[in-house]
Amino acid sequence: MPQTRVYADAGNGSTLPVVDVTHPDFMIEVDQVDLEAMCRQFVDDSAARHEVLPSVREALQRSTLGRGLMTASGAFLNGMTTYLLKLGPANLGDWATPVDRKIAASFPALATRLRLQDMARLLADGTLNALARIPRRPLRFINIGGGTAADSWNALLRLNAEQPALLRGQSITITVLDIDRDGAAFGASAVKALRAADGPLEAVDVSLDHTEYDWCDPGRLAEALIDLAPSGSACAVSSEGGLFEYGSDAAIHANLESLRALTADDAFVVGSVTRDSDATRAAQRGSGAATRPRTLAQFNSLCDRAGWQIQRVIERPFSYDVRLVKR
């Protein structure tokens, strides 16, 4: 029987598909050889690009994704624009212009979709290990700079698809710590839709809430962690396209220190690290994104100083997708 697509309220009377990495409409598989070839083509094409023409800028301004990307130049890509990139070109609605569809089919958008799949896999495996160690603890997903928190609820979708009995009777909370309210509002709608009758998470007791948080103020993180009481919970922390991509060394260190001190011994952190690569440099030239590229060795040293170590890494053209555990 085909899986049913789920839609969630996106505000203003509109709805959007809920990305489910276990659903054929959203699942993507790319051979590594093909991925490397696409990456080389992207770098070569980027080198040949010249200044954006006024007519192209006008077309981008008429495009939902184009406006979001232009607004992010020198700043952050907001949660809803990032989420729309994860839909894929075939899943955009009637609102999409030809420019929207071209952006959604681009190599960076494909990489964003792969990144979500990686995050869900890393989170699901880490959660499985934590619950196997001490079952029936409350399960806390803490999502830093999480936007819609699609990685957190996709980890649950993956766990529920693979081991449905594991989540039955489990108390689960997703807390989004972010300055972006709109992304978290959609995330809450998505979780509600997934839990509706005949939804894939119908039998799973999960809720999503939002706390305003700027990772440059790690003292506020300590307050939030104390309120969440994660020391007695299975705690899965994540930051997809967030802290490890845009944060300074000082901000990353301070957040990791707080997480180490105020979570259970088997808590883990999953995140994407902007990779110092030709593809990243090409993307930054085109978009003006304020991400901070690092080598894996640089990031590993930063984690080590904060009391964490890299347990697993998935190398992608623009990122290292990692899972950290306490040393």
The contacts of residue 327 (CB under 8 Å, 6+ apart) are 304, 307, 308, 309
* Structural contact between residues 63 and 99, judged by C-beta atoms closer than 8 angstroms: yes
Closest CA to 228 of 252, 210, 245: 210
pLDDT bracket for residue 277 (50, 70, 90): very high
| Token reading at 210 | 């939002």
Average pLDDT for 232-261: 94
How many other CB atoms are there within 10 angstroms of residue 75's CB atom?
Answer: 11
| Token reading at 125 | 């495996």
Residue 256 C-beta-side C-alpha neighbours within 13 Å: 30
- The ranges assigned to domains in the chain are 10-111, 115-326
| Token reading at 276 | 């110092």
Measured at the CA of 271, the angle between CA 164 and CA 82, to 5 degrees, comes to 90
Residue 74 is predicted with a pLDDT of: 64
Query: At 218, which amino acid appears?
Result: P
Q: What DSSP assignment string belongs to 110-174?
A: HHHHHHHHHHHHHHHHHHHHHHHHSTT--EEEEEET-TT-HHHHHHHHHHHHH-HHHHTT-EEEE
**Cα distance between residue 167 and residue 139, in whole Å:** 9
The contacts of residue 271 (CB under 8 Å, 6+ apart) are 119, 238, 239, 240, 242, 243, 244, 321, 322, 324
**Cα distance between residue 190 and residue 128, in whole Å:** 23
**Cα distance between residue 12 and residue 225, in whole Å:** 33
**Strand 268-274 and strand 171-177: pairing?**
unpaired
* Alpha-carbon Rg for the chain in angstroms: 19
Residue 12 is predicted with a pLDDT of: 79
Span 145-204, pLDDT tens digits: 989 999 999 999 999 999 988 898 889 999 999 999 999 999 999 999 999 999 999 999
pLDDT bracket for residue 50 (50, 70, 90): low
217 compared with 49, residue with greater pLDDT: 217
Residue 1 is predicted with a pLDDT of: 47
**Cα distance between residue 313 and residue 81, in whole Å:** 26
> Domain 115-326 is classified in which CATH homologous superfamily?
Vaccinia Virus protein VP39 (3.40.50.150)
Residue 66 predicted with pLDDT over 90: no
**Cα distance between residue 268 and residue 234, in whole Å:** 9
286 compared with 81, residue with greater pLDDT: 81
**Cα distance between residue 273 and residue 175, in whole Å:** 21
Query: At 170, which amino acid appears?
Result: Q
Average pLDDT for 43-63: 75
**Global pTM?**
0.94
**Strand 308-315 and strand 234-239: pairing?**
unpaired
Q: What DSSP assignment string belongs to 310-323?
A: EEEEEE-SSEEEEE
How many other CB atoms are there within 10 angstroms of residue 41's CB atom?
Answer: 11
111 compared with 290, residue with greater pLDDT: 111
pLDDT bracket for residue 69 (50, 70, 90): confident
